[in-house]
Amino acid sequence: MRLVPDFIVQFFTKESTLYKELQTMLGFTPSNLALYELALCHRSNSNNSTENNERLEFLGDAILGAIIGEHLFVKYPTRPEGYLTDMRSKIVNRKTLNQIALKIGLKELMKFNEQDYYLRDSLIFGNALEALIGAIYIDKGYAKTRTFVRKRIMIPFVDIELLESLEVNTKNKLIGWASKQGKKIDFILIEEKLERGRKKFTIGVKLEEEIIATSTAYNKKEASKIAADEAIKRLEIAP
């Protein structure tokens, strides 16, 4: 069974600029070259629903979660499950991954509809980073993928001590602010849908009668947290 569409295979060669830039980014020589191009292809760039990085993103999300979970489990042998879960959530947060993707230059390598201004500032680059991890896993196996995540993501971009010092529950912070202001605030489920075999939730922050922020994620907790972050920024609530 062919993993990569023919239209991608014919354009991705060892002589291409993309290949050389990708090699520098990864720190190793890719074997299945076209697989990485597929990881960098957003669905807005293809008319065919299967010729994009969404399946690799699904795989990369699971692999990244396992690697981060293993890292935290070994690094903090006395910490309870709640701490490990919270720290993993902070590291694999969609916004966090998107920032890392931008820092390593993934946006410049991606194929997406650049005429869509929404996409330019969206989280598709963090999703592509997960797809890239999925491609590495298929191409090189778990050990190589773990090395990439540790050396190219964890060491340069993840500050565990800083993450520990961050407010653990921005949702509670927002609720506390609303209480002091005498205002009513709620977190409401706007939409729940099945996407690529997984449930995806859109959560909204409702202040009085106005929805002031929304976020979509694969679990309600993460969607609520990101929506709370956005609401805090919009309301300019001090740290």
Can you tell me the distance from the alpha carbon of 101 to that of 129, in angstroms, rounded to the nearest whole number? 6
Provide the Cα torsion 154, 155, 159, 161; round to 10°.
110
Enzyme catalytic residues:
61, 130
Residue 37: helix, strand or coil by DSSP?
A: helix
With vertex at residue 61, the alpha carbon angle to CA 18 and CA 190, rounded to the nearest 5 degrees, is 115
- The answer to whether 149 touches 67, Cβ cutoff 8 Å, is yes
With vertex at residue 135, the alpha carbon angle to CA 130 and CA 140, rounded to the nearest 5 degrees, is 125
- The answer to whether 112 touches 106, Cβ cutoff 8 Å, is no
Identity of residue 25: M
* C-beta neighbour count of 172 within 10 angstroms: 11
Paired strand residues for 216: 202
User: 131: part of which helix (H) or strand (E)?
Assistant: helix 124-140
Paired strand residues for 179: none
Can you tell me the distance from the alpha carbon of 40 to that of 48, in angstroms, rounded to the nearest whole number? 15
